[in-house]
Each structure stands twice: as structure tokens, then as C-alpha cells.
Amino acid sequence: MGTMIGTFIKTAAPEVVEILGLTGLDFLAVDAEHAPFGRRELDLMMLAARAVGLPMYVRIPDDRPTTILQTLDVGASGLIVPHVDSAAQAVAVVRSAKFADGDRGFSNAARFGRYGTTTIDQAVELGDQAQIICQIESPQAVAAADAIAATPGVSGLLVGRADLALSMGLRKLDADEVAQGARTAISAARKHGKLAGIVAGDVSELPAWLAAGADFFIIAHDQGILRKAAAAVATSARAAIADAAK
């Protein structure tokens, strides 16, 4: 599969998905944990992702079975599940997300099932292709990372360093304790042949985490990318105006 690069989407506008679909990113991830996405908005984002042929993950706000069901029904390529602190929790998430050996409610009339045009067997196969990525965001999760990664049905681990740092009583993402926790989780994911992910604020962070074994990166988010690009335009334009006035 190789190294995968994506970004978070925090703006509930399908045009954002269309635009980002033209950039060469490998995937997008709707941040329904920290941004205002209702079911209708999420549905439109998925429709746009299908239009541009880009895999769309969703960081869900919680791990309730209903949340998992509704997100997968609209066609998410995978779920990013926040605050998974134990293998038992990972098992429960997988059961809620899978038809085979799971408890996911079935209706092939949803987008994932091609609006009722699939047989039950076909829909089950399609539905169970969705990836389940568990976020590692606490010392408990770091300690359980090997068991979480070993859980059948878990596709990968994603380190959220901000919450990990705060859970350790720290305020710096580059603190040694945070970095060590991240490396532990990445190693656990690689050991079990799973995606080893990390959320990065900037591309400059990639070399260190590539060296640590990470192969799944969520870099920044749409709003931050827009803000930085607009700020650069404003700075360059003001410099050009100042030069022209000399």
C-alpha cells in the first residue's frame, strides 16, 4: 500500500472535498469529533468523495454502535475511532463495525450497499472492507497498543499527540514522553502488519516519523491550509505593493 498522506476536513462543504481531490492526496478524513458535521453534512461529504474517487475516512465523535453504523452506511472508507484505551474497547468497536462475526445492523439500501443493487453476500463483503483505525491518545492506550493492534479487524493505529500530551500532564507535543509513546504505538502497529499513523501539524515532521516506521499521515487540516495560504498571499501582495511604491 505504501505511505499514505491525507488531511483532516473541518469545513462542512462538499466543494472542499472536490478541491482537495485535485491535489494528489491519498485520502481525506472528516473530523466529526471536533467539527460540526451532522448526518446530512456527512452524507454530502461522502458523495463528493465518491465523485472525485478519493477514500474518505471519518473521525467519529464517539464509539457508540449507532454512530459507527450510520457513518459506515453513508459510505466511509474507514473509521478513525478516538480514545481507544484497551483491546476490549477495540474488540467492541470492531464488532459494531463488521457484519461477519459482528453486530452491525444490515441494510443494503444505503450508499455502501449501492442503494439496494447488491445481494446480501455482496453487501456484507463491501461493508466489511471498511478500515478501523484506533487512536492512541493516553498512557493507557500506549500500554495497550500491542494488544489493540493485534485485535482482529483493527486496520491500524493513529497517534494523537495533543491528547496524549495532555493526558500526561504535558503541553508540548515534542516532549520526550510523548515521542516515546508515539514510537511505542507505531512499533506495535508495524509488528502486527497494521497501518502506523500519526497526526502531524506540518510536513517538516514527516522525516522523523518515517524513520520511526509511520506510514499513514494526517497532515494539518483544510482550515489551517487555507489560512496559511491566504496569509502567504497577503504577505507577498503587501511586499509587492511596498516595492512598487519605492
Active site residues: 34
C-alpha cell, 223: 482550515
Helix 65-73 and helix 87-97, axial crossing angle in degrees, nearest 10: 40
Buried (b) or exposed (e) across 39-77, using 16+ Cβ within 10 A?
eebbbbbbebbeebebbbbbbbeebebebbbbbbbbbbb
Tell me how far apart the alpha carbons of residues 236 and 230 are, in angstroms, rounded to a whole number. Answer: 10
Listing DSSP states for 6-50 in one string gives EEEE-S--HHHHHHHTTTT-SEEEEETTTS---HHHHHHHHHHHH
CB atoms inside a 10 Å sphere around CB 27: 19
